[in-house]
């Protein structure tokens, strides 16, 4: 019998591992609520491993019973279902929602062009959001008053719109950058007075 032979247990473990990997593409098709076909083979693999470890610790002629193996399997299946319900599915839905909404939240943010953008082409913009930064594909925002045909790398831009996962940007100089570019005039009168 498989449960009493350690070699069969090892082969069963390897077979369940291979089947779990091969059925990953079928997870969305062959599923029963919170448990899919890949989870089934993972459960069997874990149960066989636990059974193998129990057999190793038993005396020579003893092996686990079918009832104990089924109890181990049911416990593992229950654990995987609970893990799916309380951890994996909520985490997956939260990450999908955050990635979909985060790109919409980039509208109105400043960024820096990391790959130059041409009039008909696509470039890349590095946008800072709080303490993180994200690279996104970008196009030039169509502006009828002052058409822009090229934005070179390193240019500061403002995200004007977000459509179809693309950021639509225009060159932008914020107030702090504008202040840095201007020559200070606060002490020019005192210099002129000293010269006189």
| Domain co-membership, 90 together with 116 | no
CB 37 within 8 A of CB 30: yes
How much is the pLDDT for 95?
63
| Domain co-membership, 58 together with 150 | no
Average pLDDT across the chain, whole number: 81
| Domain co-membership, 9 together with 99 | yes
pLDDT 10s digits, 83-116: 988 888 777 766 655 555 467 788 888 899 999 9
The domain that contains 127 carries what CATH number?
2.40.50.140
pLDDT 10s digits, 151-166: 999 999 999 988 888 8
CB 171 within 8 A of CB 185: no
Does residue 194 lie within any of the structural domains? no
CB 123 within 8 A of CB 166: no
Stretches in the chain below the pLDDT threshold 70: 1-2, 60-61, 93-102, 130-131, 144, 175-196
Domain that holds residue 75: 2-103
Which among 83, 103, 123 is the end of a domain? Answer: 103
Does residue 97 lie within any of the structural domains? yes
| Domain co-membership, 139 together with 169 | yes
Nearest of 56, 47, 55 to residue 77 by alpha carbon: 47
Burial of 75 (0-12, 13-18, 19+ CB in 10 A): middle
| Domain co-membership, 169 together with 90 | no
Does residue 179 lie within any of the structural domains? no
Number of domains in the chain: 2
Q: Mention every residue, 6+ apart, whose C-beta is less than 8 A from residue 106.
A: 127, 129, 134, 136, 159, 162, 167
Does residue 21 lie within any of the structural domains? yes
């Amino acid at each position: 019998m498989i449960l009493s032979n350690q070699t069969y247990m090892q082969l069963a473990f390897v077979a369940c591992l291979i089947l779990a990997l091969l059925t990953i593409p079928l997870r969305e098709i062959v599923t029963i609520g919170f448990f899919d076909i890949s989870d089934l083979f993972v459960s069997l693999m874990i149960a066989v491993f636990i059974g193998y470890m129990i057999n190793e610790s038993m005396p020579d002629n003893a092996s686990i019973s079918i009832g104990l193996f089924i109890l181990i399997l049911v416990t593992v299946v229950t654990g995987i279902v609970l893990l799916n319900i309380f951890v994996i599915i909520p985490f997956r839905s939260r990450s999908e929602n955050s990635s979909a909404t985060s790109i919409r939240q980039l509208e109105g943010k400043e960024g820096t062009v990391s790959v130059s953008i041409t009039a008909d082409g696509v470039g890349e913009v590095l946008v800072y959001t709080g303490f993180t930064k994200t690279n996104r594909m970008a196009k030039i925002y169509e502006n009828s008053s002052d058409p822009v045909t090229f934005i070179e790398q390193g240019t500061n831009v403002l995200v004007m719109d977000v459509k179809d996962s693309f950021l639509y940007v225009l060159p932008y100089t914020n107030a702090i950058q504008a202040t840095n570019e201007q020559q200070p005039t606060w002490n020019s009168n005192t210099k002129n007075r000293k010269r006189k």
